[in-house]
Amino acid sequence: MEEKIRIIDELEQKVGGRFQLTALLQKRVRELVAGAPRLVEIRSENPIDIAIEEIRAGKIDLVPEDAD
């Protein structure tokens, strides 16, 4: 459990807070479920695990919807 808390804290700092982390995970999980390719290689098939590893690896960032 301590490891999971440490990872969440690390991710929150990386993306700028809990709200931003939640939004980024939600958006990326939806993309993965819809068939988007993985950006990291991990054994898990769980889209949440994949999204977490993508954030840890610095492969994805939260971009505001109106930034297009």
Token pair belonging to 16: 């700028």
Compute the mean pLDDT over every residue in the chain, rounded to the nearest whole number.
92
Residues 6+ away with beta carbon under 8 Å from 13? none
Residue of higher predicted confidence among 35 and 61: 35
Supply the pTM of this predicted model: 0.85
**Predicted confidence (pLDDT) per residue in 37-58, tens digit:** 999 999 999 999 999 999 999 9
What is the residue-wise DSSP string for 15-59?
HTSHHHHHHHHHHHHHHHHTTPPPSS--S---HHHHHHHHHHTT-
